[in-house]
Structures are given as C-alpha cells and as structure tokens.
Amino acid sequence: MMRAMSGIAVAAALLGWGAAAAVPAQAREFTDSAGRTVELPADVERVYPSGHPASILLYTLAPDTLLGWTRELPFDMGGLMPQRYQELPVIGRLGGRGDTANLERVLRLDPEVIFDYGAVRDPYTSMADRLQRQTGIPNVLLEGHFQALPQSYRKLGELLGRPERAETLAAYAEETLALARQIRDTVPERQRPRVYYGRDSDGLTTAFEGSLNAEILALVGARNVASGVDEPGLGSVGLEQVLAWNPETIVTINPNFHDSLQDPDPVWSKIEAVRQGRVYLAPMRPFGWFDRPPSVNRLIGVRWLLHLFYPERMDGDLRAEVRRFYELFYHVEPSPAQLDRLLGRAMP
C-alpha cells in the first residue's frame, strides 16, 4: 500500500497530515453506522471513498465531492455518465485485503473524510480506527446491507450536509424495496421462478443462495437453484449440475455467455431456460444492475427483475423507470437509443 515511500518518509507524511487534520475548524460530531463517533469539519467538500461500492454511493448523492474512483471504469460507457466524472482519477482501494491505493497519493488529494460502505463489524471497524489514527483524517463506515440502503443514504446526507438530496434517494430506495417485498409476498412459492445466475464466460461460476452477489434474487422472490451450501458465496459448478437443476430462467452479467446460448451446444440446449429462450443479460453501464459491485446500482436491477419475472403484477413501463433512475442517480438522461442498448438483451 505504501510501495513508493520508505518507512521514515511514510511516518513523516502521516505525522504531518495527521497534525494538519487533527483540529478541523468548527468541528462537529458524527456517529457512523458502526456506532463510532468521529469529528468532522463543519462543511465536507472532499471525500475519498475507500471501496468501489462507496464510490458509487457517493457519486449518486454528491458527485462534486468525489475525489476519484477506486477502480477503472468501463471504457465503453456509452454516454451514461457525464464526461467530467468519467475523467476523475483512479486512486485505488484503501483498507483491507486487495489494497491498490498508495497512501501517499491519497493524502496528497487532501480528503476531509475517508469513508467505506459495506460491513460494519470487525475487522473493518478496527481497520477504520487504525487508518484514522495513522492519517488524522476522519474515517467513517456506512452499513452496506442492501435493506439498509435508505438509512445509509440519510447518514451520508448528514455527513455531507445534504439531507434533502439524501432524502430523495432514500425515498426511492424505500419505494423499490417495499415494492419488491409486496410483490414477492403475493406470489405463491410454486409460482416463483427457478433461476440460475451464470457469472462468467462459460456460465459455470455462480453465486449460491444466501450470498451477497445473489441478494436481489431473494429480494424479488426468485428461487436460486444454486442452493444448499454451508458457506454461500461465489463458486464453480459442473454443467451436469446445471442440467440437474434445470432452471427456468438464466441471468448473466457476461455477454459472451449470453450470446453463446442463443445458438447453444447440444448439452446447454437441454436446459429449459435455453429451450424457452429465457436467458437474459443484466445491463452493466455505468454499473451492473445485478452484481459487480453490490451497491446502489442494484436498485434498478430489482425493478428490472420484477418486470422480467412478474410482468402481470408490474404497472408502468420499464424504459420510463430506467430513464427516471438514471436521471435521479446517475446525473444523465438516457436517449431512446441508449435505452435500446441497455435493454436489448435484458428483456424478452
């Protein structure tokens, strides 16, 4: 994480930055989702999100405060994000396994707050405390569980001093989650679709029932055929297993896998979802509707799956809903052609 600096230089940099940030003018107290109380400046204008889900949450609420992205954005954004935000620097991830950020570079950006959006238990709370002690910069954790998204928006709005904007986004999230629960609870178990999620180019990596990556399937009441494991997460399966599950619908985020099933080999063609042409590609621009990463982007994925699985129970036009979501959350109004590209392989 500190590859470019010697130990003495790192210590000096940290002490210098810590001293500069230790006494913010007109400090105020803020309690994060983990119950940690930190001191913040009266006005927060420069924020470093330490992970990709956090960067998306921040982008949707207050993109002008976002110092940079933690990972490269797709090169083919297709105009689905204003250019000035696409051109923000890629800083990398900071904290936990898989660090890609250089701490010296993060400090040069002069963030007033570092925040992450995800798990709020140990070891993440301990890492946040340690990073705050090292840098002297307030480090905040917000709850990343999907059901807690409205609460996290309101907390971020409090942190940034933008409660009205936060309330608008929180209300949309509440509306979406309530709609999913309402429809799910009216569908008898036997009528809920049996779904397989194929994640990679050969379709044989999946997310097992109970995993974060398949969370929205459970939310909309779909039955994930990849079930029965003790430790849910991502894993590989054999084609024989997929044949035995015989899903009614296949959802994927991989265009190569999706396209391969339009003219499938004889084995895949035995699966009901393939025979019936019920193979759908989740849109991925600017961020994935189904997965990758598990953040705000999944809200429109919930709406999409509800239209896909229960069209008779859904009012309104999905295209209009996609336009509404992109305007509200992504700061861009998709054109009819952009909507066509987004939904072309996502719907019957």
pLDDT of residue 103: 87
- What pLDDT sits at residue 22? 47
Task: Give the pLDDT band (50/70/90) at residue 8.
Answer: very low
10 has pLDDT over 50: no
Ramachandran angles phi, psi of 222, nearest 5°: -75, 150
Residue 38 token pair = 């930190």
pLDDT digits (tens, 9 = 90+) for 235-290: 999 999 999 999 999 999 999 999 999 998 899 999 999 999 999 999 999 999 99
pLDDT above 50: residue 13? no
- Three-class DSSP labels, the chain: CCCCCCHHHHHHHHHHHHHHHCCCCCCEEEECCCCCEEEECCCCCCEEECCHHHHHHHHHHCHHHECCECCCCCCCCCCCCCHHHHCCCECCCCCCCCCCCCHHHHHHCCCCEEEEEECCCCCHHHHHHHHHHHHCCCEEEEECCHHHHHHHHHHHHHHHCCHHHHHHHHHHHHHHHHHHHHHHHHCCHHHCCEEEEECCCCCCEEECCCCHHHHHHHHCCCEECCCCCCCCCEEECCHHHHHHHCCCEEEECCHHHHHHCCCCCCCHHHCHHHHCCCEEECCCCCCCCCCCCCCCCHHHHHHHHHHHHCHHHCCCCHHHHHHHHHHHHHCCCCCHHHHHHHHCCCCC
CA 55 to chain centre: 9
Residue 321 confidence (pLDDT): 98
The more confident residue out of 54 and 26 is 54
pLDDT at 250: 98
For the cut 50, the answer to whether the pLDDT of residue 310 exceeds it is: yes
Tell me phi and psi for residue 156, to 5 degrees: -70, -35
d(CA 289, CA 254): 12
**pLDDT by residue (tens digit) across 87-127?**
999 999 986 666 788 888 999 999 999 999 999 999 999 99
Check residues 96 and 78 and name the one with the higher pLDDT: 78
Per-residue pLDDT tens over the stretch 282-309 = 999 999 999 888 899 999 999 999 999 9
Q: Indicate if the pLDDT at residue 210 is higher than 60.
A: yes
- Residue labelled with tokens 């992205």: 69
The number of angstroms, rounded, from the C-alpha of 174 to the middle of its chain's C-alpha atoms is: 16
Q: pLDDT tens digits, residue range 177-201?
A: 999 999 999 999 999 999 999 999 9
Percent share of the chain, pLDDT over 70: 92
What does the alpha-carbon distance between residue 342 and residue 286 come to, in Å, rounded to a whole number? 10
What pLDDT shows up at residue 11? 41
Domains and CATH numbers, the chain: 7-165 (3.40.50.1980), 174-343 (3.40.50.1980)
Q: What pLDDT is stored for residue 25 in this prediction? A: 54
Taking residues 17-23, what's their average pLDDT?
46
Count of Cβ atoms closer than 10 Å to residue 345 Cβ: 16
Give this prediction's pTM.
0.90
